[in-house]
Amino acid sequence: MIRKWLRIAHRELSYVFAGALLVYAISGIALNHKATFNSQYRIERSEHQFPADGSIADWLTICGMQGKEIQHYNPDPETLKIFLKGNSTLTVNLTTHVGVLEQVKKRPFLGSLSKLHYNPGKAWTWFSDIFAGALILITLTGIFMLKGKHGLWGIGGIELAIGILIPLLFIFL
């Protein structure tokens, strides 16, 4: 009788929280690779040839960035670096009159998913706590649902021990 209720609880909670688990898993993979991949933003680079007698305002108009200059400076005599609104930059080689525009763009879907890992508010804290509790219940009901050689006292118990040991090895080694 208890296994019947364990199976029902396991099934229903699994379906309810499967979507949240997928969201966390997908955004978690992206965050695991933040050294090589930014899940929040992407940088678009474009190269532009400017006329020799052009001004900063002219260059920004050519790039479609007119009115977005914040400040500029010369890191060396041949280079002008222009900082633009939105964390974008235009770097112009003053000898060749070639400019490289780097625009920072938000990743709309993946960026939003990734923000959930950073706890965006009190309501999300409540949901995350409920979600974590549900994952514990799903795990416990799954552990005790089966009996016999596939259950906790058989191969299931060995697999459970392996699953516990893997993160502990990463912590201690």
Tens digits of residue pLDDT in 110-123: 888 888 888 888 99
Exposure of 23 in the CB half-sphere (CA atoms within 13 A): 14
154/137 Cα distance (integer angstroms) = 21
Q: According to the model, what pLDDT value does residue 68 have?
A: 92
Output the pTM of the full model.
0.64
Same domain, 94 and 74: yes
Q: According to the model, what pLDDT value does residue 145 have?
A: 82
Q: According to the model, what pLDDT value does residue 143 have?
A: 86
pLDDT tens per residue across span 88-103: 999 999 999 999 999 9
Same domain, 56 and 30: no
Q: According to the model, what pLDDT value does residue 48 have?
A: 96
Strand partners, 79: 76, 93
Q: According to the model, what pLDDT value does residue 120 have?
A: 84
Among 87, 106, 125, which residue terminates a domain? 106
Q: According to the model, what pLDDT value does residue 163 have?
A: 93
| Tokens 């969201």 belong to residue | 23
Write out the residue range of the structural domain in which residue 168 sits.
2-35+111-172
- List CB contacts of 73: < 8 A, sequence separation 6 or more: 80, 81
Domain count of the chain?
A: 2
Those residues of the chain that have pLDDT short of 70 are none
Same domain, 98 and 55: yes
| φ/ψ (deg, to 5) at 69 | -70, 135
Same domain, 69 and 89: yes
